[in-house]
Structure 1
Amino acid sequence: MTGLPEFIKRIELPAYKYKYSVCTLVTRKEQYTEMLNSFIEGGFTEDICEYLVVDNSEINRMDAYQGLNVLLQQAKGEYVILCHQDILLTGTSNKQLLDRRIEEISVLDPRWAILGNAGAADRLYDRLAIKIAYPDGFVDIKGQLPQQVCSVDENFMLVKNSANLAFSSDIGGYHLYGLDLCMVARLLGYSAYVIDFLLIHYSKGNIDKSFYETLARVKKKYVRFMKGRYMNTTIAKFYLSGFPLKNWLFNTRVLRRVIKTAEEIKTKLSRS
């Protein structure tokens, strides 16, 4: 950079300190320790992996949206695993297998940003994609994997650090943040997949009052965000909608002139 002051720094693509960051909200230390040991035994050793936690074992320091955002911001791994404390790697699901699954998805779709072991596609039928084992020996398998999805289950989410994803600041709580992160990824041009990476999960989920309260906040946010609207910039004004007919109608010059005239008449009447 000849001719520029010496204090100017040239920015390059990031060089990550670790291959993986394993990030967890911890409420039960014994359970987390069991999870941690299974990861280390599965090849996620300290030389290539860092372990970050939000310690909620004594007091609730951060909810899922806030805590996982902090973990994403501080993670130094190329890939960030956001997972529950009550999962265990199986004998066959280890670092080598996860490396291979990442390579396979990267060939299939270089714009992926999120991988999970359970999720749902945005279609009415055959929407579920799942491969999770439970302590009682039951293995829940649905769909053909890998499967592109619109949401992932929160028990295990792998995030590409370079995608610079974040959770919403206006939802909060401990539910549906997998859906929220997938929505953010899609808006930024990335995709999400469920992959064949079998884990043991001690819980089958907890649908309680707080779930429905979070669901209401999620629906309110995204209904508002996705509604048809006029977009204004310093140069262009245009209408956006999920309905092609409305896009055509509201972007025609004739209708825009009618709307502009109506707005002018309304302004004049308000001043008189």
Structure 2
Amino acid sequence: MEYDSLDVIEIDSIVSDKLFSMCTLVSNKDEYKLLLDSAKNAGFNNENTEFMYIDNTLNNKYDAYDGLNQCLNKANAKYVILVHQDVEFKFDNIEVLISKIKEMDEVDPKWAILGNTGYDINNINTQYTRITDPGQLDVHNGPFPAKVSCPDENIMIVKNELNLMFSKNIGHYHLYGADLSMQAYIQGYNTYVIDFHILHRSGGYPNKSFYDTKEKMIKQYQKALEIKFFRTPCSPIFLSSFRILNKIMNSKVVYSMKKRLDQLRFNKKSTMNEQ
């Protein structure tokens, strides 16, 4: 198909030759080198993986949300591995990861994000973990795969075709895994912890910036998920998280009442302005 002299590419013909894009925020070059060396030993190479990093070695030019959004936007591979610089692929290799992804495709084709630790999506007391980090050696707390609310950010495998992005108005270095999982959940996709064992050479500890970020996240999603009416060009829509309430409020009777009440309020406001 020709369109004069324009270079037109059919979207379905754009295929990456890499399976993984490995993306990292880098503030310590020595730690990043350890990550890359371990990735190479685990079978990640230039044939199957593109390696991308955000350079924060001189200063924190980019926070996690902005920096990793650049990675998600530019990554060309089928799966994006967002990984901390202080991680090492010391135990499981690329073949194990590929097998776990194939397993997930069978268990739940609507998976979006895979991690190595998180809490059960329906039980906030149940945690699933597969990791070695300070104070925890070879933790295998399953069964796996396990559907979770969100993963720890030390490593996240994201299905690139879903075009997920982090929120642009939260910022900093905390809770971005929760944010991305919420974005996926709203679109009907799921987050899982899988049996993929790596070494994370530090632990996470809440500090003031963590709680500041938590407050920003609460405010954002509180506004996004609040109960409300939308008026589309074709029909009004009432949205809430309650199925029965949605059914009632989206009935023609309620719409009619809502329309009349809004008109009365509008007429009253117009009369007061005229006075």
Q: Same fold (TM over 0.5)?
A: yes
Alignment partner, residue 102 of structure 1: 101
- 2:44 is aligned with 1:44: yes
Residue 212 to residue 13, structure 1, CA distance change in 2 (3 Å): farther
**How far 1:104 sits from its partner (Å)?**
0.8
Please show how residues 19-30 of structure 1 align to structure 2 within 5 Å.
19-30=19-30
Alignment partner, residue 262 of structure 1: 261
Whether the 8 Å CA contact 1:239–1:247 is kept in 2: the answer is: yes
Whether the 8 Å CA contact 1:135–1:200 is kept in 2: the answer is: no
> Which amino acid counterpart does residue 165 of structure 1 have in structure 2?
L
**How far 1:231 sits from its partner (Å)?**
2.1
Whether the 8 Å CA contact 1:228–1:241 is kept in 2: the answer is: yes
**How far 1:9 sits from its partner (Å)?**
3.6
Whether the 8 Å CA contact 2:236–2:255 is kept in 1: the answer is: no
> Which amino acid counterpart does residue 154 of structure 2 have in structure 1?
N
Alignment partner, residue 176 of structure 1: 175
Please show how residues 1-272 of structure 1 align to structure 2 within 5 Å.
1=1, 5=4, 7=6, 8-91=8-91, 93-135=92-134, 138-272=137-271
Q: For 1:74-111, what per-residue CA distance to the aligned partner results, in whole angstroms no more than 9, with x for missing partners?
A: 112221100101111123x0011111111111111122
Whether the 8 Å CA contact 2:134–2:202 is kept in 1: the answer is: no
Whether the 8 Å CA contact 2:79–2:157 is kept in 1: the answer is: yes
TM-score for both structures, normalised by structure 1? 0.93
Question: Which has the larger displacement, 121-130 or 231-240?
Answer: 121-130
Residue 40 to residue 135, structure 1, CA distance change in 2 (3 Å): farther
**How far 1:17 sits from its partner (Å)?**
2.8
**How far 1:173 sits from its partner (Å)?**
0.7
Residue 9 to residue 219, structure 1, CA distance change in 2 (3 Å): same
**Alignment partner of 1:247: what SS?**
helix
Residue 135 to residue 204, structure 1, CA distance change in 2 (3 Å): closer
Whether the 8 Å CA contact 1:23–1:81 is kept in 2: the answer is: yes
**Alignment partner of 1:77: what SS?**
coil
- What is the CA RMSD across the aligned residues, in angstroms? 1.8
**How far 1:19 sits from its partner (Å)?**
1.5
- State the distance in 2 between where 1:108 and 1:254 align: 42
> Which amino acid counterpart does residue 49 of structure 1 have in structure 2?
T
**Alignment partner of 1:22: what SS?**
strand
Whether the 8 Å CA contact 1:241–1:247 is kept in 2: the answer is: yes
- How many residue pairs match? The answer is 270
Whether the 8 Å CA contact 2:90–2:199 is kept in 1: the answer is: yes
Whether the 8 Å CA contact 1:21–1:79 is kept in 2: the answer is: yes
Whether the 8 Å CA contact 2:132–2:200 is kept in 1: the answer is: yes
- State the distance in 1 between where 2:76 and 2:270 align: 58
**How far 1:5 sits from its partner (Å)?**
4.5
- State the distance in 1 between where 2:246 and 2:44 align: 50
Q: For 1:3-26, what per-residue CA distance to the aligned partner results, in whole angstroms no more than 9, with x for missing partners?
A: x65634433253113111111001
TM-score for both structures, normalised by structure 2? 0.92
- State the distance in 2 between where 1:125 and 1:119 align: 10
**Alignment partner of 1:18: what SS?**
coil
Q: Percent identity?
A: 36
**How far 1:149 sits from its partner (Å)?**
1.6
**How far 1:150 sits from its partner (Å)?**
2.0
**Alignment partner of 1:167: what SS?**
coil
Residue 147 to residue 237, structure 1, CA distance change in 2 (3 Å): same
- State the distance in 2 between where 1:13 and 1:159 align: 22
Residue 225 to residue 41, structure 1, CA distance change in 2 (3 Å): same
Q: For 1:12-41, what per-residue CA distance to the aligned partner results, in whole angstroms no more than 9, with x for missing partners?
A: 253113111111001111111111111101
Runs of 4+ off more than 4 Å: none
